[in-house]
């Protein structure tokens, strides 16, 4: 299910102006041997696939060691502040009652209210919610948003829910979580299997019980009831902004760059269309069925995104312009943006990647094993917690608009997103330049330093 209604706006004035480092700077740092990081990645590469929680803990330990943090603070961050498990009774359309398991994990609230998605999926587990809540803590912190990380969900296959069942389930889940969510406590958002309508029902159920309208209890709502303009486009826009900054850092003009985008959905289509608008040549885009390729550049506006026409990317395209998704990953391009699903660049295909730069639009598209290979080969990977953080950033803007009871125009949303993304990019770039680490580790260092500082300042009571 998609989230909000897509809406478009002109990009902010000067959005394409690079603000990254000069080519000279980049040449110097590209030659450095990033030894400390390589050892860690290599260790991780040898291990079996990890759960979201194991990954999040690894990232915490690695960044904590680099920062030489107070062990007492790190110990607090290893544990979620709270995990709520609830039983959600659902009356099916046939009158029978089924009891489903639901969770809400809140990781760290030192910097502000908890924020994170709410998913309906058969494989939701408590442990996964905890791990993903930790990721949200780092993502909010790298963006310097005054929010902490949370994640939740219900163990259910959303395809097996009727519209009415989806509504009843959501309203009951809102009631079960009412004591721990709220505009100043924990603010859910759409995730896998949930969408803007789910958020509207959740908000309505919460508001009815509170006795007052509380639009700020969730984000990702339809704009008519307090959702933000530009929310749908935001993660793809941040991918495009970060790709632009990373290219500038390498001393490469955007209008000489070739780009391949895997996944032409909410994230991928927005990123591809913006990069095209800013002068890059998008040579390949794909959906689950395969890719369309043209070395001279595609007209990305005429290719339907997942939201516009599901699985329409390769429909009616001549065979000589078709590629597999696997071949797209191996294209010789300046920027490869995997924006579809996780685990697509792995230990098995990372040696075959010929892109000069990878920008993670999806969550977790590059595995640990692939990270180690790409690092050895000198191919930078700009991590998901920075690159697709436009989504949570505009969710934060939505929350501000709900508190202010005032709607921002798309132009303002995109201008403020541009500012936040460039500031976050600069903070990460500073760490990258200062330390012998990868872009991924630099982002985690920025995030953890901020969270740890909040803990130091607030202290532990009693």
Give residues in contact with ligand NAD (CB under 6 A). 2-3, 235, 262-268, 286-288, 306, 311, 325, 339-342, 361-363, 388, 391
Task: Report CA dihedral (345, 350, 354, 355) to the nearest 10 degrees.
Answer: 40
Residue number with the smallest Cβ distance to ligand NAD: 265
Quick one: 248 or 414, whose CB is closer to ligand NAD? 414
Task: Kindly state the DSSP code that residue 343 receives in the 8-state scheme.
Answer: S
Catalytic residue among 34, 115, 139, 151: 151
What angle separates helix 163-176 from helix 196-210, to the nearest 10 degrees?
Answer: 50
For ligand NAD, the closer CB: 194 or 325: 325
Q: 21 to each of 63, 199, 422, how far by Cα in Å?
A: 24, 40, 12
- At its nearest, how many Å lie between ligand NAD and the CB of residue 39? 28
β 335-338/322-323 pair status:
unpaired
* Residue number, 113 or 268, with CB nearest to ligand NAD: 268
What's the closest the beta carbon of residue 424 comes to ligand NAD, in angstroms? 15
Phi–psi pair at 2, nearest 5 degrees = -85, 170
Nearer to ligand NAD, 311 or 348 (CB): 311
Minimum Å gap between C-beta 220 and ligand NAD is 8
Q: What are phi and psi of 255, to 5 degrees?
A: -80, 0
Q: Is 139 a catalytic residue?
A: no
CB 181 within 8 A of CB 117: no
CB of 442 closer than 8 Å to CB of 432: yes
| Cis omega (within 30 of 0) for bond into 228 | no
Nearer to ligand NAD, 41 or 314 (CB): 314
d(CA 94, CA 298): 49
Identity of the residue, 69 or 381, whose beta carbon is nearer to ligand NAD in the bound complex: 381
Tally of CA atoms within 13 A in the half-sphere of 400 that contains its CB: 14
Minimum CB separation from ligand NAD for residue 284, in Å? 12
Query: CA–CA separation, 336 vs 332, rounded Å?
Result: 9
Give the tokens for residue 338: 């995997």
In whole angstroms, how close is the CB of 362 to ligand NAD at the nearest point?
Answer: 3
267 or 428: CB nearest ligand NAD: 267
Minimum separation from the CB atom of position 98 to ligand NAD (A): 27
Return the closest-CA partner of residue 395 out of 177, 150, 212.
Answer: 150
Q: How far is the CB of 394 from ligand NAD (least distance, A)?
A: 9
Q: How many CB atoms lie within 10 A of CB 14?
A: 9
Cα separation, 140 vs 15, whole angstroms: 22
Active-site positions read 151
């Amino acid at each position: 299910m998609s989230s909000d209604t897509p809406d478009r706006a002109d990009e902010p004035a000067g959005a394409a102006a690079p603000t990254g480092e000069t080519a000279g700077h980049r040449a110097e740092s590209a030659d450095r041997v990033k030894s400390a990081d390589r050892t860690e990645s290599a260790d991780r590469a040898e291990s079996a696939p990890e759960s979201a929680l194991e990954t999040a803990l690894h990232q915490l330990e690695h960044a904590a060691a680099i920062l030489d943090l107070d062990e007492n603070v790190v110990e607090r961050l290893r544990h979620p502040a709270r995990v709520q498990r609830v039983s959600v009774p659902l009356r099916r359309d046939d009158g029978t009652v089924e009891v489903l398991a639901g969770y809400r994990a809140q990781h760290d609230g030192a910097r502000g209210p908890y924020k994170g998605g709410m998913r309906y999926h058969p494989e939701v587990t408590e442990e996964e919610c905890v791990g993903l809540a930790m990721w949200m803590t780092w993502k909010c912190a790298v963006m310097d948003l005054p929010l902490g990380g949370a994640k939740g969900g219900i163990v259910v296959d959303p395809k097996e829910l009727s519209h009415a069942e989806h509504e009843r389930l959501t309203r009951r889940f809102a009631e079960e979580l009412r004591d721990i969510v709220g505009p100043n406590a924990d603010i859910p958002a759409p995730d896998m299997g949930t969408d803007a309508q789910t958020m509207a029902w959740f908000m309505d159920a919460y508001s009815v019980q509170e006795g007052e309208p509380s639009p700020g209890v969730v984000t990702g709502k339809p704009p008519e009831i307090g959702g933000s303009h530009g929310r749908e486009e935001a993660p793809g826009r941040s991918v495009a902004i970060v790709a632009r900054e990373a290219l500038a850092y390498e001393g490469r003009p955007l209008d000489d760059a070739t780009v391949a985008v895997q996944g032409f959905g909410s994230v991928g289509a927005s990123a591809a269309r913006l990069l095209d608008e800013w002068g890059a040549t998008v040579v390949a885009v794909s959906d689950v069925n395969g890719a369309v390729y043209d070395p001279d550049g595609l007209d990305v506006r005429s290719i339907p995104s997942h939201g516009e026409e599901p699985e329409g990317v390769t429909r009616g395209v001549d065979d000589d312009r078709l590629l597999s998704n696997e071949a797209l990953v191996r294209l010789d391009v300046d920027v490869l943006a995997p924006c579809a699903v996780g685990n697509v660049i792995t230990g098995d295909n990372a040696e075959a990647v010929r892109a000069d730069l990878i920008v993670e639009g999806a969550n977790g598209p590059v595995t640990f094993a692939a990270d180690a290979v790409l690092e050895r080969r000198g191919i930078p990977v700009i991590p998901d917690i920075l690159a697709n953080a436009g989504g949570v950033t505009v969710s934060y803007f939505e929350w501000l608009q709900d508190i202010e009871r005032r709607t921002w125009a798309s132009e303002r949303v995109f201008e403020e997103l541009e500012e936040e993304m460039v500031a976050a990019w600069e903070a990460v770039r500073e760490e990258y330049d200062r330390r012998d680490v990868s872009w991924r580790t630099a982002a985690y260092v920025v995030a953890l330093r901020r969270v740890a500082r909040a803990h130091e300042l607030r202290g532990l009571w009693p």
